[in-house]
Structure 1
Amino acid sequence: MKKVEPISSECISKLKNYSCKLELIIENLPGMVFWCKNDPEWTMDFVSRGCFELLGYEPEELTKKISFGSLIHPEDRNFVRDTINKNLEPNKKLTLEYRVICKDGTMKWVLENSQGIFSENKKFIGIEGFITDITGIKGTEKSLKKSEKYSRKIVELIPDLIIMSNKNGDYLDIISSENHELPMPKSRVIGKNIRDVLPVNDAKNVIDSIEKCINENSIQTVEYSLELNSKTHFYEARIISMGHNNVFALIRDITSRKEMEKAVKENETKFKSIIQSSPNGFYLYRLIGDELIFTCANPAADKILALDHDELVEKTIEEAFPGLKDTFVPELYKKIAKKELGNQTFQISYYVNDILRYFDVRAFQTLENSIAVSFVDVTEKKLAEESLKKRNEELERFERVVIERELKMIELKEKISKLEKKLKEAGFNEKIL
Structure 2
Amino acid sequence: MDDPGGTIRVLLVDDDPDLATMTATFLEREDDRFDTETAIGAAAALDRLDDGIDCVVADYEMPDMTGIELLEAVREEHPDLPFVLYTGKGSEEIASDAISAGVTDYLQKERGTGQYAVLANRIENAVEAYRSEKLLNRRTRRLERLISNLPGMVYRCRNAPDWPMETVEGEVAAMTGYAADALESGDVQWGEDVIHPADREETWARVQDSLDERGRFELSYRIRTRDGETRWMWERGRGVYDDGELTHLEGFITDVTERERRESRLQETSARLEALFEQSPDMINLHDADGTISEPNARLCEKTGYDREELIGTKVWEIDCSIDSASAAEIWDRMEPGDSRRLESEYERADGSTFPVEVHIRRIDAADETLFAVISRDISERRERERELERVQREYEELINGMNDTVWVISREGEFVAVNDAAVEQIGYDREELLGMRPHDIDAGIDPEEITALIEGMPEDDVQVFETVHETKSGEEIPVEISSTLISYQGETAILSVGRDITERKERERRLERFASIVSHDLRNPLNVAQGRLELAAEDCDSEQLEHVADAHERMNALIDSLLGLAQQGEVATETEPVALETAAERAWSSVATDEATLRTAVTGAVVADPSRLAQLFENLFRNAVEHAGPGVTVTVGDLDDGFYVADDGVGIREAERDSVFETGYTTGDGTGFGLAIVEQVADAHGWSVSVAESENGGARFEFTGVETA
TM-score between the two structures when normalised by the length of structure 2: 0.30
Using the size of structure 1 for normalisation, the TM-score is 0.45
Larger RCO, structure (CA 8 Å, separation 6 or more): 1
